[in-house]
Amino acid sequence: MFRAAGDAVGHHGGIRFTTYMLPANGGEIAWTGSVFVQLDEHGRILRDHQFGDPPPAGVVTGNAPGTRAVVREYLRRCAQGDPERIAEMYAAKVDWRVSWPVERHPHVPWIRPRSTRADVADHHRTFNEHCPPDEARVSIDHMTVDGTDAVLIGTSSQAVKATGRRFAMTFALRLTVEDGLITRHHMYEDSLAVVEAFHRS
């Protein structure tokens, strides 16, 4: 069977994506490839070019998608912004930390202890309530995958609805993936920049 990597991009009638071929009864991937297709004006395939590649590290472990594939899907769902769909990527119990030296932040409503999939959904709902998703600017500049762990380095600029002020920062996010689900979420960010945006000038 084939499994998409969730990295499809399109431009001027061309689509590029990665696909994995897996044994029907489970096991390691048998083939992975980069696929490029060109469509006509009716959306039908004119050309189909497939390039086989060695399986990337961390793509699959047994029957479950591996670290890199899970993280890519996680990022795709974050871009879509549905809290429930994002939370589905997490295990029932999560080792969660958002950078702040105490358990709760007195001014930033989403910084508080979390430990369950339901908590993850609540985190994203709370964040969206205070920082409108359509005003967000987030980019991932670098991703490193080592076994079950992934570290993402990126930048984020958000607007705080209550004050109209923005905060911008560089962040590091450590995710751990086990059996196809995220079990650890540690975010290291500029908490001071967030706090200042919550205060009216």
Instruction: Give the model confidence (pLDDT) of 84-102 as tens digits.
Output: 999 999 999 999 998 776 6
Q: Output DSSP code: residue 55.
A: P
Q: Is the pLDDT confidence value at 121 over 60? A: yes
- The pLDDT, as a whole number, for residue 90 is 96
Portions of the chain given CATH number 3.10.450.50: 2-55, 83-198
Task: Output the six-digit token pair for 19.
Answer: 């696909």
- pLDDT of 147 above 70: yes
Q: What is the pLDDT of residue 18?
A: 83
> Which residues are registered as beta bridge partners of 166?
159
Task: Identify the band that residue 123 occupies on the pLDDT scale cut at 50, 70 and 90.
Answer: very high
The class (CATH top level) of 2-55 is alpha beta
Element (H, E) at 11: strand 9-11
19 vs 138, residue with greater confidence? 138
Q: At 26, is the pLDDT very low, low, confident or very high (cuts 50, 70, 90)?
A: low
Give pLDDT, residue 59. Answer: 46
Give the number of other CB atoms < 10 A from CB of residue 70: 26
DSSP 56: P
Strands (E), 43-159: 45-53, 60-61, 64-65, 90-98, 137-146, 149-159
How would DSSP label each residue in 80-122?
HT-HHHHHTTEEEEEEEEES-SSSS-SS-TT-S---BHHHHHH
pLDDT mean over 49-75: 71
Which residues lie closer than 8 Å to 198 by C-beta, 6 or more apart?
Answer: 107, 108, 160, 162, 163, 165
Tokens of 27: 């096991």
Assign 78 to helix, strand or coil: helix
Q: Determine whether domain 83-198 maps to CATH 3.30.420.270.
A: no
Report pLDDT digits (tens) over 60-71.
444 567 888 899
Query: Which tokens hold the place of 38?
Result: 């060109």
Report pLDDT for 19. 81
Evaluate if residue 160 carries a pLDDT over 70: yes
Report the chain's mean pLDDT, rounded to a whole number.
85
User: For residue 32, what pLDDT is reported?
Assistant: 78
Report, as an integer, the average pLDDT of 78-84.
91
For the ranges 51-55, 107-111, 171-175, the lowest mean pLDDT is seen at 51-55
Residue 158: pLDDT band with limits 50, 70, 90: very high
- Output the pTM of the full model: 0.66
